[in-house]
Amino acid sequence: MSSPVAYTLDGDIAVISIDNPPVNALSHAVRQGLLDAVETFQSDDAAKAAVVAGAGRTFIAGADIKEFGKPLADPQLPHITNVIEASAKPVVAALHGTALGGGLEVALGCHYRVAVKGAKVGLPEVNLGILPGAGGTQRTPRLVGAEAAAEMITSGRHMGAAEALKSGLIDHVDDGSDPVAAGVAYARKLLAEGKGPRPTRNITARIEEAKQDKGLFDRLKADAKKKARGQLSPVVCIDAIMAAVYAKDFDEGMKIERQLFQDLMKTPQREALIHAFFGERAVGKVPELKDGKPRKVEKIGVIGGGTMGSGITLAMMNAGIPVVMVERDDAAIAAGRGRVEKTLQGGVDRGKLTPDRREWMLANLYSGTTDMNALADVDLVIEAVFEDMGVKKEVFTKLDAICKPGAVLATNTSYLDINQIAAMTKRPEDVIGMHFFSPANIMRLLEIVVADKTHPDVVATAFDIARRAAKVGVRAGVCDGFIGNRILGKYLRVAQMLVEDGATPYEVDEAVVGFGYPMGPFAMSDLAGLDIGWMTRKRKAATRKKEERYSADWLDRICEQGRFGQKTGRGVYIYPEGARRGEHDPEVLQIIDDVRREKGINARKFSAEEIMERYMAAMINEGAKVLEEGIALRPVDIDVVQITGYGHPRWRGGPMKHADMRGLDKVLASIRKFEAEDAWFWKPAQLLVDLVGRGENFDSLNRKEV
Ligand code: 3HC
Ligand code: NAI
């Protein structure tokens, strides 16, 4: 097999080119090829300097993540970076595309770094539950200082070439677009100026500087801990950077880094985060995309300018697609435009958007009207009117009459039957659910709900829009609540039951936050408005089965007092003077006590572990039912929905991955235990029972062809 690394000569400059599509990941063959090429360069008297570059669309995007979890074969990357750095002749890294992780570490091992304009660099290992393990935590602080290195490494963010130049990470930004030409020109300039190798390990000024700041690492560690919310790797990254400053020498620092890297490699968090990484890519593989072709979308109509309509409008404008927003009357369209303007202004205030760009976006990407006929020429309509079947049906009947043939007609409904909505048109094949999450301009999840007659091209169009708007599209089938809200309904019920049985809502929220969620279910309900759930419960009261336990009386009573959460200053929590974080409310605890007394419930204590055992079991059991019914294609689709739309901690990998890691037999045993208390609610999913019976896990279903 030919090596993915080529060694050629451009006059007296050696060009070492890595060609391992799609992203030049550092597989075993690439590592071996790179080492061989560097050794060839050392012994090639015709070569005075070398350039390391990537072929195709990028430099090197990092280690080959697919090799993680298995023993890594030699040569290892830290050794290769050390060999490059020890070269007696100068080596220049020429960056384009994305130089990430191990890719940037190779570049840091080189003596000089040049980049073409659009190049990006970064050390994103933290997002995979590990740390830069090939000298990234040792060499970066030498170039940019310990504090800036900590920011870069613990955030994992990508940095543009201009910023990388300013920070000291790279030496030159080339105006051209050819990295090899840029690298060769830079190498020639070095030779002409008589400059030789400049090993990064020998640059120590920034290290000495960091030593002067005695409290630096306490500060960095406290900050990393706070932001990590239970994730290990950001904090361990700081330990590794600390070794760059305090280890007795560079090699000792490298050893410490490697040990910490290997320790993190063994953690369940690493496994979970890599599952999430590949999961976000796997969800884009759906049966309809095999034949479906995206339709051209150059203009979008959004109906409704409320919370969702304005958020969706912003999401589309951010993707550079012009939007016409339609509302019921002048006041409503003024309010809709106001929401869009306010959010854009927020971007200006935070320095994310220039005032000129805001003006340009409003002038070129936004128009508002009360006339539905304005939708005659749009390629895609996204309806976000009230969650009421009558209103939705009326809107879709009108759309059928107004929109041009081939226009995609999407609804943002949270729960309603999209087949019924599609049936209002003579073109049900063009109708689809595009379920955005609030705030729609920020949340990454887009559930793409495929109805019975939806055409594959329409599915492909929705996935294409997700991609253009930098969202993660996940395919769902039609049912009450699709994937996410249907599962949410179950664990919210568990939360209510836990309170009725003895936990306080504050204990439930604390347990959920302790598990790694940004917010507990009751703080979340206060934010969304308690009235939404109250209305739904009232609507469903008539059809509620008699076996079903009702455990929301305490919440109903809070609502009866006009306490709907943040917007009324009081809900499950009290919000003094518009505060976003609520305080515990003794009156709520009194209401709960009263309800328990009236219902004859003896309150008992629940530990945080017991709370989470039930909360997660409900999520997993319903997830299994969603799979069984084909509403979600694979377990990983549910994981991605929960991580990108519902705040599930990414480092736990999603509820289905969490179940696999805990052991499905243990999860089933928990459900059986709860089933003894409430057989109706806790009926185990047949799929779960079958998987346990066969000794298989959810992940076995991820590998199946869809
Ligand atoms: N290893 C293996 N496969 C990788 C990979 C990697 N590092 N990076 C990307 N891929 C695969 C993807 O899974 C995808 O495969 P598919 O087509 O079969 O689904 C394909 O390459 C293309 O990737 P994307 O769809 O993500 O392409 P984009 O153009 O949207 O993004 C990217 C490109 C920015 C490079 C993005 O893929 C990315 O962020 N990759 C991960 C980068 C990373 O985390 N690097 C650090 C690795 S850990 C490390 O280096 C350890 C070291 O410190 C020792
Ligand atoms: P909202 O009440 O904030 O906005 C609805 C808007 O639709 C109002 O501004 C109203 O004037 C307008 N409207 C009603 N009938 C109309 C018509 N015939 N023509 C034009 N405009 C009309 O409601 P929200 O929260 O934005 O929800 C909209 C839809 O999005 C609902 O289906 C909801 O279930 C769904 N959704 C809501 C989420 C949320 O978090 N609020 C999340 C995801 C989906």
> What's 382's domain CATH number?
3.40.50.720
Q: Whose CA is nearest to atom 12 of ligand 2?
A: 304
Q: Give the ligand whose atoms come closest to the C-alpha of residue 80.
A: 1
Phi, psi of 291 (to 5 degrees): -110, -25
Q: Are 621 and 659 in contact (CB under 8 A)?
A: no
Q: Whose CA is nearest to atom 13 of ligand 1?
A: 278
Beta strands in 22-129 (DSSP E): 49-54, 91-95, 98-100, 112-116, 120-122
Give me ligand 1 centre to Cα 61, in Å: 6
Cβ-based neighbours of 406, under 8 Å, separated by 6 or more: 295, 379, 430
Q: Ligand 1 site: residues with CB under 6 angstroms?
A: 22-23, 25, 61-66, 77, 98, 100-102, 105, 124-125, 128, 132-134, 136, 281
Q: Which residues are identified as catalytic?
A: 105, 125
150 & 55 share domain: yes
Phi, psi of 361 (to 5 degrees): -65, -45
Largest CA-CA distance found in the chain, in angstroms, rounded:
92
Q: Whose CA is nearest to atom 4 of ligand 2?
A: 306
Write down the pLDDT at residue 1: 66
Give me ligand 1 centre to Cα 256, in Å: 26
Q: Give the ligand whose atoms come closest to the C-alpha of residue 412.
A: 2
Q: Are 133 and 270 in contact (CB under 8 A)?
A: no
Look up the pTM and report it: 0.95
Give me ligand 2 centre to Cα 304, in Å: 6
Query: Does 305 map to a domain?
Result: yes
Q: Give the ligand whose atoms come closest to the C-alpha of residue 418.
A: 2
Q: What is the CATH number of the domain that holds 114?
A: 3.90.226.10
362 & 254 share domain: no
474 & 491 share domain: no
- Helix-helix angle 586-599:553-560, to 10 degrees: 130
Q: Which domain holds residue 258?
A: 5-265
Q: Whose CA is nearest to atom 39 of ligand 2?
A: 438
Q: Which amino acid is at 474?
A: V
Exposure b/e, 249-278, CB count within 10 A at least 16 = b: ebeebbebbbebbeebbebbbbbbbbbbbe
Q: Cβ of 119: how many Cβ atoms within 10 Å? A: 28
448 & 494 share domain: no
Task: Provide the 8-state DSSP code for 503.
Answer: -
Q: Whose CA is nearest to atom 29 of ligand 2?
A: 384
Q: Ligand 2 site: residues with CB under 6 angstroms?
A: 303-309, 326-328, 332, 384-387, 391, 395, 412-414, 435-438
Alpha-carbon gap, residue 632 to 152, rounded angstroms: 36
152 & 240 share domain: yes
Nearest alpha-carbon partner for 633 in 623, 620, 621: 623
Query: Does 280 map to a domain?
Result: no
Q: Cβ of 545: how many Cβ atoms within 10 Å? A: 6
Q: Whose CA is nearest to atom 1 of ligand 1?
A: 64
- Helix-helix angle 136-144:233-246, to 10 degrees: 60
Q: Give the ligand whose atoms come closest to the C-alpha of residue 119.
A: 1
Query: Does 281 map to a domain?
Result: no
Of the candidates 443, 478, 513, which is a domain's last residue? Answer: 478
Q: Are 174 and 161 in contact (CB under 8 A)?
A: no
Cβ-based neighbours of 651, under 8 Å, separated by 6 or more: 129, 230, 231, 232, 269, 272, 273, 516
Which strands sit side by side in the sheet containing 408-411, from one edge to the other?
366-369, 323-326, 300-303, 380-383, 408-411, 431-436, 445-450, 472-477
Query: Does 335 map to a domain?
Result: yes
Query: Does 274 map to a domain?
Result: no
Q: Are 462 and 448 in contact (CB under 8 A)?
A: yes
Q: Whose CA is nearest to atom 47 of ligand 1?
A: 62
Q: Give the ligand whose atoms come closest to the C-alpha of residue 30.
A: 1
467 & 513 share domain: no
Query: Does 291 map to a domain?
Result: no
Give me ligand 2 centre to Cα 342, in Å: 18
314 & 461 share domain: yes
Mutational pocket test of ligand 1: of 18, 26, 65, the residue with most ligand atoms within 8 Å of the beta carbon: 65
Query: Does 283 map to a domain?
Result: no
The minimum-distance atom of ligand 2 relative to the CA of 436 is 43
Q: Cβ of 354: how many Cβ atoms within 10 Å? A: 11
Compute the radius of gyration of the chain from its Cα atoms.
28
Q: What is the CATH number of the domain that holds 540?
A: 1.10.1040.50
464 & 490 share domain: no
Task: Provide the 8-state DSSP code for 76.
Answer: P
Exposure b/e, 98-113, CB count within 10 A at least 16 = b: bbbbbbbbbbbbbbbb
Give me ligand 2 centre to Cα 655, in Å: 29
The minimum-distance atom of ligand 1 relative to the CA of 62 is 50
180 & 247 share domain: yes
Residue 197 structure tokens: 């190798």
Give me ligand 1 centre to Cα 286, in Å: 20
Q: Are 2 and 30 in contact (CB under 8 A)?
A: no
Query: Does 101 map to a domain?
Result: yes
Of the candidates 439, 455, 478, which is a domain's last residue? Answer: 478
320 & 438 share domain: yes
Q: Cβ of 550: how many Cβ atoms within 10 Å? A: 14
Give me ligand 1 centre to Cα 606, in Å: 42
Q: Cβ of 43: how many Cβ atoms within 10 Å? A: 7
Mutational pocket test of ligand 2: of 398, 414, 531, the residue with most ligand atoms within 8 Å of the beta carbon: 414
Give mean pLDDT in consecutive 10-residue pieces for the chain, a chain of 706 residues. Answer: 93 98 97 98 98 98 91 94 98 98 98 97 98 98 98 97 98 96 98 98 97 96 94 97 98 98 96 97 97 98 97 98 98 98 97 96 98 98 96 98 98 96 98 97 98 98 98 97 97 98 98 97 95 90 93 98 95 89 96 98 97 98 98 98 98 98 98 97 98 98 87
397 & 333 share domain: yes
The minimum-distance atom of ligand 1 relative to the CA of 77 is 54
Between strands 13-18 and 5-10, the pairing is: antiparallel
Overall domain count for the chain: 3
614 & 668 share domain: yes
Cβ-based neighbours of 387, under 8 Å, separated by 6 or more: 413, 414, 415, 416
Give me ligand 1 centre to Cα 289, in Å: 21
The minimum-distance atom of ligand 1 relative to the CA of 57 is 29
Cβ-based neighbours of 189, under 8 Å, separated by 6 or more: none
Q: What share of the chain is helix, strand, coil (3-state, %, to 5)?
A: 55, 10, 35
Residue 618 structure tokens: 């409900």
Of the candidates 478, 512, 533, which is a domain's last residue? Answer: 478
Alpha-carbon gap, residue 246 to 74, rounded angstroms: 29
